[in-house]
């Protein structure tokens, strides 16, 4: 048994390593650690979609998300524009497939900050300075529900994790800190300049993305935007062959695993042209880390136009414009996880789109019946009908 002289510092004794504070690794703009497992996570540009992604509060780096959509609407295209606009505002490198660089001027602009909301807090909500002293040690912990943090959540941060966009505006060059890189054309195969064979459009895209990742610094974040995959309006007929599409997804999956701290991808697929029952679509879903399906609801042509009073009442609650099905989400690790224990797969979700708030995902609820509304508005009329004179 050894004894130590009183007053001797243990860390200074021989055989003991001096305790030094750990320096946190500086993350790139628009990237934060996941509250679940600490992996770097970036925002999709849509806060409600960030909350849905398996509790990570965003899209983890090194993963891709496939968004399927039925019908002739373009809700998935709007999500894609939010994803690209968020990357350009945060200073990320955005790689666009199928469109020229002029597609950048179709992206939504930043929403103007609401001065009234900042100056006067909402009733029932205490000011940021009024915090519980007993919970001071829990301030650094993330929310397991996947709440999207902004600059108000972290007083030391000046750049929000997820920006607010307005569809009625267009993204200006002054707001863009990143660069939009159009990938090689998705038209018919072209001749290889170095050889005599033909180069597939999808192989050229993978080689382009690989060269950009190899030449970029490790702290730079890249985003791949693939709109309307297999659509004949954008891609050549050869691109819809299973050998071409699966090689693209295999190559993309390899790059996502190799550059797991730099690359994310968002892919949209029109299921009205390619049904989910086909074997090719099922293989594509297996090669993607997350699969979400948008099902737009048909408009009711018989319904009368809303009156001015109904419009005022409907301002607070947005009407659902479609259903959202979650088929798979980015898992915590290769063994499982990813929303099965939270009940996301079993819950019926819906979405609504507005120009100021973007696409909002929420649990689906049936609207009240018109007869019940009329009874609630005029209870006196029902009493008079039942009276006998």
Q: Which residues of the chain have pLDDT under 50?
A: 16, 18, 115-156, 196, 303-317, 340-343
List beta partners, residue 166. 109
Burial class (CB in 10 A: 0-12, 13-18, 19+), 296: middle
Residues 45 and 83 sit within 8 Å (Cβ to Cβ): yes
C-alpha to C-alpha distance for 82 and 167, rounded to whole angstroms: 9
The pLDDT value given to residue 236? 86
The pLDDT value given to residue 324? 92
C-alpha to C-alpha distance for 250 and 64, rounded to whole angstroms: 12
The pLDDT value given to residue 274? 85
The pLDDT value given to residue 20? 52
Reference 266, options 210, 212, 228; nearest CA is: 228
For residue 182, tell me if it sits in a domain.
yes
For residue 14, tell me if it sits in a domain.
no
pLDDT digits (tens, 9 = 90+) for 210-252: 999 999 999 899 999 999 998 888 888 888 889 999 999 999 9
C-alpha to C-alpha distance for 27 and 367, rounded to whole angstroms: 44
Length of the chain: 389
Query: Within 10 A of 387 (CB to CB), how many other CB atoms are there?
Result: 6
The pLDDT value given to residue 199? 72
The pLDDT value given to residue 137? 44
The pLDDT value given to residue 1? 54
Using a cut of 0.85, tell me whether the model's pTM lies above it. Answer: no
The pLDDT value given to residue 3? 62
For residue 13, tell me if it sits in a domain.
no
Q: Tell me the residue range of the domain where 152 lies.
A: 28-114+142-378
For residue 9, tell me if it sits in a domain.
no
**Dihedral of alpha carbons 228, 233, 239, 240, sign:** positive
Reference 44, options 287, 225, 216, 231; nearest CA is: 225
pLDDT digits (tens, 9 = 90+) for 124-164: 444 444 444 444 444 444 443 334 344 334 444 577 899 89
DSSP class of residue 105 equals G
Task: Specify the number of domains making up the chain.
Answer: 1
CA atoms within 13 A on the CB side of 318: 18
Strands (E), the chain: 31-33, 40-42, 59-60, 64-69, 93-96, 108-110, 165-170, 179-182, 190-191, 198-199, 222-226, 263-270, 290-296, 322-328, 349-354, 358-363
Residues 171 and 88 sit within 8 Å (Cβ to Cβ): yes
The pLDDT value given to residue 387? 54
CA atoms within 13 A on the CB side of 29: 16
For residue 135, tell me if it sits in a domain.
no
Reference 36, options 60, 66, 56; nearest CA is: 56
The CATH number linked to 33 is: 3.40.50.300
For residue 3, tell me if it sits in a domain.
no
For residue 5, tell me if it sits in a domain.
no
C-alpha to C-alpha distance for 222 and 227, rounded to whole angstroms: 16
For residue 6, tell me if it sits in a domain.
no
Query: Within 10 A of 179 (CB to CB), how many other CB atoms are there?
Result: 14
DSSP class of residue 142 equals P
């Amino acid at each position: 048994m050894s004894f130590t002289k009183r007053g001797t510092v243990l860390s200074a004794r021989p055989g003991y390593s001096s305790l030094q504070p750990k320096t946190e690794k500086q993350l790139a703009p628009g990237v934060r650690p996941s509250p679940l497992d600490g992996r770097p996570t970036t925002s999709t540009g849509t806060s409600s979609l960030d909350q849905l992604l398996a509790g990570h509060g965003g899209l983890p780096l090194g993963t891709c998300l496939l968004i399927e959509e039925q019908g002739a609407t373009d809700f998935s295209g709007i999500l894609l524009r939010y994803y690209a606009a968020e990357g350009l505002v945060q200073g990320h490198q955005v790689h666009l497939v199928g469109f020229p660089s002029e597609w950048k001027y179709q992206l939504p602009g930043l929403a103007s900050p609401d001065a009234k909301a900042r100056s006067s807090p909402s009733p029932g909500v205490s000011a940021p300075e009024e915090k519980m002293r007993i919970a001071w040690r829990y301030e650094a912990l993330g929310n397991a529900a996947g709440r999207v943090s902004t600059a108000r959540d972290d007083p030391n941060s000046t750049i929000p994790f997820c920006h607010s966009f307005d569809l009625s505006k267009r993204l200006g060059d002054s707001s863009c800190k990143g660069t939009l890189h159009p990938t090689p054309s998705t038209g018919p195969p072209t001749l290889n300049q170095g050889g005599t064979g033909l180069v597939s459009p999808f192989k050229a895209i993978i080689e382009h993305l690989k060269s950009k990742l190899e030449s970029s610094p490790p702290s730079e974040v890249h985003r791949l935007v693939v709109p309307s995959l297999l659509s004949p309006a954008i891609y050549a007929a050869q691109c819809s062959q299973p050998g071409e599409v699966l090689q693209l997804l295999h190559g993309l999956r390899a790059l996502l695993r190799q550059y797991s701290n730099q690359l994310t991808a968002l892919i949209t697929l029109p299921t009205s042209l390619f049904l989910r029952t086909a074997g090719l679509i099922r293989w594509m879903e297996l090669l993607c880390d997350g699969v979400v399906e948008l099902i737009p609801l048909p408009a009711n042509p018989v319904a009368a136009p809303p009156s001015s009073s109904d419009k005022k009442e409907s301002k607070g609650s947005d009407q659902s414009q479609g259903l959202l099905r979650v088929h798979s989400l980015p898992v915590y690790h290769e063994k499982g996880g990813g929303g099965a224990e939270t009940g996301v797969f079993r819950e019926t979700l819906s979405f609504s789109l507005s120009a100021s708030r973007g696409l909002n995902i929420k649990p689906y609820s049936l609207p009240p019946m018109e007869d019940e509304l009329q009874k609630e508005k005029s209870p006196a009329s029902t009493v008079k009908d039942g009276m006998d004179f």
